[in-house]
Structure 1
């Protein structure tokens, strides 16, 4: 994914402000895998590992963990944040696992917030080569959170994040700077991704559309956040990194400029919500529940 190689992309900020995964998600993964005792598993592969969050969380259940990411910056960040000797980090892709794992050696392969970038003409056959019979593959991800009870502000964010042309006077929307088709695949909660039946069985999908009243086992990424935290999170969007590269003259207020697209977006969001606007310069202290759209896809090797 080219975004993570951009000069404006910060792996450190991504690690700091992206949401973490709840224990309920990992229970779902391990229960499907039928792995309940620490140390029972042998090898886990974390594909698109980012800063190593998933590998660190699942490490107690495996003897060896191989974590891969196509971004050298992400791999560097993961190594800096991880002291676990069981985890090895490498620059690599889902489409070619051969430099990192032997055939039929992997118990569980996971991909969190990465599977929308895969080339599935190669990935399923590569995973089939690497997995043990009965081994499992689990992909999951999230997209487009709704700020519950702040529908007007959510609509403003949608306009700026997915708008083409000017979304405010002199401000181009961020839509052209999403990498495609990956973003649209993710927005569809990977419904367009088929699991082939030749090597895989027991396929299970769990999806949640943001704002739907699903239970916690389905709506597994819902978090109370301050608006300041949500603002910082929006600056980790890959489209924002692309927008900044395209508009280097427009500096954020934090950089001493007059404001960039995210500054202006938040101006409009605050104006749309009277209780936030009434807080004046303290609006970042307001709290909101962010409810993301999510998916989990699970399959077992025949």
Structure 2
């Protein structure tokens, strides 16, 4: 399955709500992020994590291979009055001076990287004692719920999509950072319900890897029409409370 989130940049910027306030609050409360730090946000996309850090006083660089997503990020940054330095490149091809950041973040993107190389590069770019934060904000498919039904519909339209049936946890990422030499590896998670209207959920799903980022436009339209009918028939009440899990891994660069 070929995935290009730039194809769904408009829906991505409008309908992917991004990490909740409680995520950023916990990062700063626990000292994983600190005001005034130099931060690098890998796979920044439309800049949700980068913008959240910049709003709290960090000097942030956002790195992404999609020019379309970076353009959306710049517009959203201007709307809230922050400036994030943008670098257009794949993580694996990026070049930054060694020990040039206090914090490296990766929100909802670690699975798209060459993970061992990304971990090694993050360690190289971090100053001694700097922190790597890998985070996910995933919907939760539970038997009979809206997410479960939506995932079934995605698979019916796009059998190549294999990213569903998740539980929001990523234990393999711990091995990635340990093998790269990071220490003080920790994780935490919490669940949160996100309210979505029918239109909002349809936009969120069009912006996903299995739909707008990988299907042809006509196929996306057919899928969207079926999802609209499913929502109207089975989940008519709005807003819909969609269960999500926030999962965070933090690790410290040695030295």
Q: 1:198 to 1:118 in 2, by over 3 A?
A: closer
Query: How far does residue 130 in structure 1 lie from its aligned partner after superposition?
Result: 0.7
91, 100, 105: which one aligns with 2:88 = 91
- For 1:242 and 1:105, the matched residues in 2 are separated by 33
2:47 maps to: 52
Query: How far does residue 230 in structure 1 lie from its aligned partner after superposition?
Result: 1.4
Whether the 8 Å contact between 1:136 and 1:300 is mirrored in structure 2 is yes
1:4 maps to: 4
Query: How far does residue 228 in structure 1 lie from its aligned partner after superposition?
Result: 2.4
2:234 maps to: 272
Alignment TM-score, normalising by the size of structure 2:
0.84
2:184 maps to: 202
Query: How far does residue 153 in structure 1 lie from its aligned partner after superposition?
Result: 4.2
Where 2:152 maps in the other structure, the secondary structure is helix
Where 1:33 maps in the other structure, the secondary structure is coil
Whether the 8 Å contact between 1:45 and 1:106 is mirrored in structure 2 is yes
Alignment TM-score, normalising by the size of structure 1:
0.72
Q: 1:243 to 1:155 in 2, by over 3 A?
A: same
Give ranges in structure 1 of 5+ residues lacking alignment: 164-172, 208-217, 253-259, 277-282
CA RMSD of aligned residues (A): 2.9
**1:123 maps to 2:123:** no
- Structure number, greater radius of gyration: 1
Q: How does 1:34-73 map to 2 (within 5 A)?
A: 35-36=33-34, 38-39=35-36, 41=37, 43-62=38-57, 64-73=59-68
Whether the 8 Å contact between 2:141 and 2:166 is mirrored in structure 1 is no
194, 205, 209: which one aligns with 1:223 = 194
Q: 1:196 to 1:224 in 2, by over 3 A?
A: same
Give ranges in structure 2 of 5+ residues lacking alignment: none
Where 2:3 maps in the other structure, the secondary structure is helix
**1:162 maps to 2:155:** yes
